Structure 1
């Protein structure tokens, strides 16, 4: 056996730059995060408007500038916290190759590997750098992550292995030939672990909305600028203040802020539950999951097992015990079943191993030849024997109670012969007990309550899988389906999946096909697993969830890694995704309603300038000061949106985000903007009005706007719970205080003393609230009809 490099040789290679020294994680630097949050389009617009207001000497009217600090500060703090959590968790979950140095084997971080290092391989190990095989014992490598080919590739001494692939079966060692940026692993890591908000329906939808808003802002902004600066006859200071007051609320700064941090906050929350999010779009995908495919072993049951019984079928019990002990001891990387046998039979006989056939999920058996002591096979009874025979039926009966049963058999052929296993003779049934996870039942009940369908898919005996699922209260929908009887046609497979819940003896390629079949029926699929046989399905599922104790390969391809191995964490993961996406949609209605009514009001006021030149009437100045715009958003959008974004939300995310938001925001904004303008027209006393009359007219319009906007908030906050009712009451109370306390009235230039104007403002506000309610019910009826149509089509 090659002893590997010496310490001196390792030092030399590091000095020469021949090390695998690549960043542990391609997360953004702190400076990148600061730049991304400070230098934004919205901050730029607000900064220009802030400079204009400050140039007039009105510091009070520049309060909206605090939005620049809030936009940048909150985003920076949350993203840095998320970065630190992601980086720390990534280090915990990183795959560590076993490297030979100075004749010793030790686990190292991937970036500590140097060129010419000798790295050992076993089932489930990820190949972290490129190299050449120098030792091989039935070594099979899955290169599907690189080539897309699902079939394992047999590797012998002298063949090449690529980083990014993983070992399916067998064992061996390879010498590193390409490290650092030259290896495939570096490129894969760079692409897979960047801290970035990649394209998603939510973000692309918001981008579309912002593009529409930009098109609306340009003509409305030009009109208001012309009206304020040229047509209204206002002096420069009130003209500029009115222009800024019209333009500031058109910018949905809060929506962009909440969207920017929503994913990062979700990642931080999940990190506190030991759930590592490796791809941030998983946060959105989790909100859309309607089907969970759960592996039995390691997910519903504990990985550890114990031998509960050995039923000798032929021969001497002592010989059976020796065969079990020798076979278990000969396995360099035992799985849970073999480890349990090794623990129960620790007195190893002095048998000499002459051939080996490592276990693979495709064959369902492993074997060892011990010369004159025989050829021993250990595997699935229903695979090695006639399923209709007495022994196979006995094994199935034991498996139906949730036990795992292995057959110990002998063969006339050497286990490495092409014809292996050949004709086998049953020698004993090894009965092992699996421990069901204590949190499995509660987790399955959660999914059922949330209308998420659970499919249990396992490589174990189908009857055993069904027994475990049934013991956890899962509606198994009839007998468990044997994977060997599944159809190859995708449509036929999808039909079976629609009617059945539990599946056994499923091959890795079948798991992948089952995920694809579910997706073909419009399902959003999450796949959980911990073994090598789950990798292909995890990779293709909408959301792959791996256990932290699982193989490095499963952790590498999964979007979510449950580092504490708790299946019960998954409901929190799903709930967090729903909370983030559902709440972003909810508060989007508030921000976009404000944008729409700001554009409408600016357009109506602005168009009065050109029209006044044509028809000879006096143009209207903008009714609000920038401070009015600021307080209008305090209790109808700002504070409520923050609280609503943190609220529980278990609604399953739906498609057509833009359509649903605009169906409420556009009519609501039209109602608010047009009735606010009418209220202002009724109260406006003309260009010769006194300063007090102008303040009263602006206050009247503001009252109408606030009343209707509060009802928009009441609609968005549904369904009501005690704290939402308190939120609505607190928002209304906040405005009552602003309008009733004299010092606050003077500070914000509010004058509701004109009883007739204030009364008309309240009446128009109530009319607007009724209009918003009608628009909401029409939009809701449209959503229901659309959803029903989608269900019929699917």
Structure 2
């Protein structure tokens, strides 16, 4: 009964080959040409052309680049600098989405580079796409199954027949015995035995391909920042049409009317003014600064072994309020560890037997845990026969001789209810069975070591049969190795108000025990086989229960949808292919380093070193980004507000637009562009609260109207104390706008810190340098103001500063509600 040698495998394969010779090569080629080959579907739902259409050919870009082109055509390149941020925005959008497309297109559940098939009685290795319907796959231990197949013959001469690990597909961590006529699915792996399987589904029809195809469907991570900014851009874009008409008409009227402006060539100035007004309404840098903030965060997290596959995912964990965890690979390392032995009856040599079983080449994952505590005990023990573990019979056995101080006869290690059931009803067995039940309730995996003086025998179907008179010797308990960082990380999420759901394909009792070990309050896990199919009822269960076992891949996906239907922002972690669809459909998918390729591809975040304690750092990074972008957005939206308001007022009243485009570049750069870059990257631990857009607009609209009122006051009062030249009024308007907008910046930079003070002071200094340096004066066409106009500007700015402070005090109370 020696197990698993190469000689046994060769004999088995020869026996199988003589019965089934496989397809002729000519027939296999014919089927391949007929489209019956294992060609997997390729491509995501968006082509490169579609990506370009979505990011380049937009109404927003049409308006911006049209204005850019008009100014270049008029020879006013100095006023066309606004085109650069718009170009960068477009490039970033295309690059990000194309990168996501390439990741999805590379997605594949199957990692095996070749397949082993039987054709014309010969075994050969071929490319995956050359496998055809009806081919005979030759399966050996360690192989990944490349196409859905039906078992036609197994290695009946081997130790345990054909055993398949389907955990990547089903979440069930126990290997499954496959007999003749059983189906084996693509993406699963052979863990024991060998055999032949006839291919019954190929290509897009296979199970793995269907998972891959579903996972490949293009989608962007849900981002409140991005969706809010996109919504703003849509509002602004649609408002630009009528605004352009108002502005152009107003500027032409300001030049004496359409006919006069065209005749004397003043239409050029009118067009420049109109372009300046329209472009000022567009928050060009907001998207760029947001993208830069995400990119910098992505780099920072990458240095901590956290891969961000889509930049807005940095924001995701800051918004998540429910975190769904897969037990194996997330809370646990996926490995079993020995817990303890419970002595039942002393039989000589039991430690030697356990040591030998633990270090046997045929030992499964659980038995290998015995090597460390008992490995030194078996140096003088040599069994005369062995029956390796089998997932169907749930036990393994050794046949001991009369030497070495070990009791002769049969030693059996396996599941208590399988090993001892033949002896049940006796006092010596019922008590150990009761103990095993209690230990299982505690979530421990339990094995019993039993001994019989009789030898093991074979049944009518050549399967080994347990001997009579088995005496339980020791009860052995095992537990899954919990990640050392899991409890601390979950404690952090609890403090931050993030609820946790543990979801696993394993026994609910085992899952519950692991949950308790990491600090979750769970008396008993919920068996997912009792979950309702109705989404509303399922959501009720999920609100009440927190630990689930025996969960199928379809149920994981349904759970995500049910939680989302109740308004939750859901993060999903996992490592198996069975987790891929749930991870994709969640608001934020997180994969561990050991995850299947398909799961990593659809996840937004991958923990490259598998350390679960990286998660709080990702949360902190997300919060920093959200809080800082909210701060920066108020600067940009303040500008958009006053640009719209000024355009309407000056257009309707037929006043000349008070700035040149290049002069707006001064205020944009000093009050928004440069400081926004630094503010977006500074530390910020503010806790996330929904309503980003509402809070931003509540400050930005009043602040923009304060700036507008200052410019209107300057125009009205300046005409009364004037006259002043066009250049003087444009310079005064630039200083008025910069003075009030810089105080808006000072408000946004609070709470005060030395670096933030330095940023604000540097912007004031930059404004002064524009007027001090002759070259910059000439380029931006600004001039020193007369005393009366200078005093007027100072007075208006002072009133604006007071109003901004009043607005800040009100906004603080508003945001605390």
Partner of 2:747: helix, strand, or coil? helix
Question: For each residue in 1:385-443, what CA deviation from the matched residue of structure 2 results, as whole angstroms up to 9, or x when unmatched?
Answer: 99x9688779979999xx966231669999999xx9xx997542225577664555664
- Of 55, 64, 67, the residue aligned with 2:73 is 55
Secondary structure of 1:210's partner? helix
Instruction: State the shift of 1:597 in Å.
Output: 1.1
Q: 2:742, 2:164 → 1: CA distance? A: 65
Which residue of the partner structure matches residue 222 of structure 1? 245
C-alpha displacement of 1:627: 0.6
CA distance, structure 1, for counterparts of residue 222 and residue 587 of structure 2: 14
Structure 1 residues 752-791: aligned runs within 5 Å? 752-785=784-817
Q: Residue in 2 aligned with 1:598?
A: 643
8 Å CA contact 2:564–2:570 kept in 1: the answer is yes
Distance 2:300 2:734 in 1: 39
Q: Confirm or deny: 8 A CA contact 1:129 1:183 kept in the other structure.
A: yes
Decide which of 587, 596, 610 is 2:632's aligned counterpart: 587
Among 548, 557, 565, which residue is 2:593 paired with?
548
Normalised to the residue count of structure 1, the TM-score between the two structures is: 0.74
Alignment CA distance shift 1:680-1:539 (3 Å):
closer
User: Are 1:208 and 2:251 matched, yes or no?
Assistant: no
Return closer, same or farther for 1:160/1:568 CA change in 2, 3 Å cut-off.
same
Deviations 1:321-341 (A, max 9, x none): 658866996978x34x33323
Offset of 1:598 from its aligned partner? Answer: 0.7
Per the alignment, do residues 182 and 583 of structure 1 end up closer, same or farther by CA in structure 2, a change over 3 Å counting?
Answer: farther
Q: Which residue of 2 aligns with 1:338?
A: 367
Unaligned runs of 5+ in 2: 1-12, 155-160, 400-408, 532-536
Which residue does 2:403 correspond to in 1?
A: none
- 1:573 aligned onto 2:618: yes
Over 3 Å counting, the alpha-carbon distance change for 1:738 and 1:278 in structure 2 is closer
Pairwise CA distance, 1:165: 8.5
Deviation at residue 281 of structure 1 after TM alignment: 7.0
Aligned partners of 1:313, 1:135: CA distance in 2, in Å?
42
- Please state whether the residue corresponding to 1:623 is helix, strand or coil: coil
How does 1:418-497 map onto structure 2 within 5 Å?
426-432=472-478, 437=483, 439-440=485-486, 443-444=489-490, 447=493, 450-452=496-498, 461=510, 465=514, 468-469=517-518, 480-483=522-525
Distance 2:318 2:810 in 1: 26
In structure 1, how many angstroms separate the alpha carbons of the residues matched to 2:191 and 2:797?
69
- Write the deviation string for residues 28-81 of structure 1: whole angstroms up to 9, x where unpaired: 787876676544433321221122223333232222233344334555566677
**Change beyond 3 A, Cα 1:752–1:452:** farther
1:244 aligns with 2:260: no
Residues 1:30 and 1:581: Cα distance change in structure 2 (over 3 Å): farther
Q: Where does structure 1 lack aligned partners over 5 or more consecutive residues?
A: 360-365, 610-619, 786-794
* Cα deviations by residue, 1:476-529 (Å, 9 ceiling, x for unpaired): 56xx5222699978688567658xxxx6x9443699598788767755443444
1:744 aligns to 2:781 (yes or no): no
Determine which of 705, 709, 715 is the counterpart of 1:670.
705
1:66 aligns with 2:84: yes
Separation in 1 of the partners of 2:193 and 2:589? 26
Rg bigger for which structure? Answer: 2
TM-score normalised to the size of structure 2? 0.72
Cα RMSD between the aligned structures? Answer: 5.6
Q: Distance in 1 between matches of 2:89 and 2:585?
A: 37
Compared CA separation, residues 142 and 753, structure 1 to 2 (3 A): same
Query: How much has 1:682 moved relative to structure 2?
Result: 1.9
- Whether contact under 8 Å (2:395, 2:412) holds in the other structure is yes
Asked if 1:357 corresponds to 2:391, the answer is: yes
Matched ranges for 1:525-544 at <5 A: 525-530=570-575, 542-544=587-589
Distance 1:210 1:453, change over 3 A: same
Asked if the contact 1:294/1:529 (under 8 Å) is kept, the reply is yes
Q: Is the 8 A contact 1:304 1:340 kept in 2?
A: no
Alignment check: 8 A CA contact 1:508 1:537 kept: no
Q: 1:323 to 1:59 in 2, by over 3 A?
A: closer
Deviations 1:538-587 (A, max 9, x none): 67764443322256686577554423222233234334444444444333
Please tell me whether the aligned partners of residues 60 and 237 of structure 2 are also in contact (alpha carbons under 8 angstroms): no
2 CA distance for matches of 1:69 and 1:532? Answer: 39
Task: Return the offset for 1:450.
Answer: 4.5
Give the Cα separation in 1 of the matches to 2:303 and 2:48.
21
Deviating more after overlay: 509-518 vs 308-317: 509-518
